[in-house]
Amino acid sequence: MTTPRYWSQAVTELADRDATLAHLIRQASDTRLQRRRDAFGALARAIVGQQISTQAARSVWTRLVGCVPSFSPDTLAAADHLTLRGAGLSSQKAHYLQDLASHFATGSLAPARWRRMDDESIIEDLTRVKGIGRWTAEMFLIFHLQRPDVLPVGDLGLQKAMSVHYNRGRPMSEKKLRRLAEPWTPWRTVATWYLWRSLDP
């Protein structure tokens, strides 16, 4: 896993612009975003983690990798559906994962071309796959492609952290969230990371 090259510059600029972020960055100064290297694995993990706790997602992922030999698009696409269910996946998520695997195996999702595409184009590309919505695509932009300016306004963790640190614990609209985050451009991924970390026990 690797940390983005822009991280130090982003942290310095965000701390200069926003006193709240400066405090959060100091609190979590020993943490950095780490890249998930494998594109297929990163997307599969995101699907597994939908609507369940982080701990539950880790458990299901460990069992899934253990029951599919040489975890890859080809082996997952060919896996028995009941085997996937036995790892703790819902029937729907098992179908989603095999659809994702088929897109990779056939080349209809081609990671090499994403380097030349902007964020919104990649989101459009990914959301053609069953089970991948905007949130999952944004997590992929952050954790795999390490795009620097992603603001996942639909993410519950980001919403909670923003309400706690910028709105006295009261909910805020996505429009207000975006407006508050405007000064963080072009480092909104980094700001999001430290806001997430502020919710860690």
DSSP for 185-201 reads TT-HHHHHHHHHHTT--
Judge if 57 and 118 occupy the same domain: yes
Looking at the structure of the chain, the number of domains it has is: 2
Average pLDDT over residues 189-194: 96
Judge if 45 and 105 occupy the same domain: yes
- Rg, the chain, Cα only: 18
Judge if 16 and 72 occupy the same domain: no
Share of the chain above pLDDT 70, in %: 99
Judge if 161 and 103 occupy the same domain: no
Of 143, 164, 187, which closes a domain?
A: 143
Between CA 187 and CA 196, with CA 192 as vertex, the angle to 5 degrees is 155
Question: Residue 133 CB: number of other CB atoms within 10 A?
Answer: 13
Residue 85 and residue 131 in contact, taking contact as beta carbons nearer than 8 Å: no
Judge if 65 and 18 occupy the same domain: no
2, part of any domain: no
CATH code for the domain in which residue 164 is found:
1.10.1670.40
Judge if 50 and 112 occupy the same domain: yes
Judge if 28 and 56 occupy the same domain: no
119, part of any domain: yes
pLDDT of 1 reads 56
Residues 64-94 pLDDT 10s: 999 887 889 999 999 998 999 999 999 999 9
H-helix or E-strand spanning residue 149? none
Average pLDDT over residues 131-159: 93
Domain holding 63, by residue range, is: 39-143
Of 143, 159, 178, which closes a domain?
A: 143
pTM: 0.86
16, part of any domain: yes
Residue where the block lists tokens 């982003």: 10
pLDDT of 37 reads 74
Of 102, 128, 143, which closes a domain?
A: 143
